[in-house]
Structure 1
Amino acid sequence: MTYVRRDSSFNEDYEVPHGNTSVDFYARPMTLKEEYLTDAYPLHSIFQWRFGFLLRYKQNKSLQTFYSLPFTIPVWVSIIWTLLLSTVVFYILSYWERRLIGGETCLHHEFLLAFSAFCQHILPLQANLCSRRIAYFIFIFSAYIIHCFYTSNLLSHLVNDKDRIMDLKDLSNSDYEFVIIKDMNLITDRRIHQLTTDKHLKTVEKKFQNTKVMTVSSALTAVRDSKTAVLTDYKTLYPLIKRMFENHAICELMEVDLYPNRKGNTSSPPKILNIKKNSKLGE
């Protein structure tokens, strides 16, 4: 590994621990600056490493059902039958008007008139008999009320629907179960948990007490099929997610960073970076 000479202005005494046989890479971010790391692959990507919870966002079923209502088969069948029935009624009234006072009548024109009322872009119309005027008024007014009612409900649901944004606090208060990959080495000593000063770990500390340990495939299956959040570095699981998840399920995945302030920031990496020789996820 290439040795980078320390800056002479840096006077802190620091010694590399001797006898550590489990370390393959040893790096000090305060010495290896960003301008050096740009040409030091793969260290640069390592310092941009993100770590957190990967979960599948479960949309509210009531909202999902509401948004799908306009696209159900019964709705479209009702619209088509209403359109055909109103066209026939309009044609009969126009034919009766022509028999009484003369004029023109056309089935195509009545169909386009009813269709334009559904679309809220009404074509010019001319009616002499009161019965025909009343029929047009009732149909157009009813179509307008239905259109306004559905539009207002849709907009109110969109306003009240929460964005797909979740932080550690929201995740800790949710009913998602935490899962840890069994190859990860975590400290489980309660005294260390109690003495920790990491505010991000304290946020989810209670839920860590009931954390499940699974294999990678089992953890991803739980994320896909249930409300489960797996603790991971994201990039390691991307190839497996591509093979195990459908496209719509991939679009529903959400990442909640354990250290959100370090997202994409190379100025505040961890103090010391150790990569073990025998790590299965070394690449």
Structure 2
Amino acid sequence: MDINSYQNQAEGFVKHYLLADPILPYTSVLAGIFLCKMAYDLTELFSSIHIKSYSALTNMKRIEWNNRGISTVHAIFISFMAIYFVFFSDLFSDQRTLQGLMVFRSSPLSNFGLGVSVGYFLADVGMIIWFYPSLGGSEYIFHHCLSGIAVAYSLFSGEAQLYTYMVLISEVTTPEINLRWYLDIAGLKRSNAYLINGVAIFLAWLTARILLFIYIFYHVYIHYDQVVLMHTFGYLLVFVVPTALSVMNLMWFGKIVNGLKKTLEKRQ
């Protein structure tokens, strides 16, 4: 009887406080930070036991190894969330006219996903700055700050969440990028896995960071009558963030193409 009573109290606390609409954005951000810490520790634990080359790495390389574990876990989580809301959920469907304008719609689940992502960006940019420039240069700080601000605004204002999730689909490329780094560190640059990984990065980047961004601009264009009704800051973010990220994506895509060419040439 006591166990059931405690269980009911715990469920009530979670439902009415931690997951209550006014509190949910804050608890989800904290959950994101907590999950980052947990992903870091689990990556460290798993790698120290099962990855032979891990113990031979320098302290900084182990930190980067574990940090990439964080970004991989976040990328998998937010990619599934983003793909669901963009392609499968009817939350932002044009057919749901009774639910109000698409650019102002949100739900507890969509808020939770964005909150976890904000927690990740806060934790990761904190690590990048703390260990600067070992985990990334100024372009990584700019990318994370820009993305984090846009996601946080969408979370706390409830505006343009569809476009935020569209941009977050680009995180689907992160696991492939991290795997390439792991393969390089493990001395497997000449392996078939490294070649397959390079092709996978090329295709994923082309789809999620080039073609998808073209679709985002098209979607904004055909829904401009709604976008223009947003607050000025949100309106600017809808144009500035995808544009800035598109420029960075194109620059990185050029490096990916060159890297893939070099890998294929070495195979001939």
Q: What's the TM-score bracket when you normalise by the shorter of the two chains? A: under 0.3
Report the TM-score when normalising by structure 2.
Answer: 0.21
Structure number with higher strand proportion: 1
Higher helix share: 2
Structure with more relative contact order (C-alpha pairs < 8 Å, separation 6 or more): 1
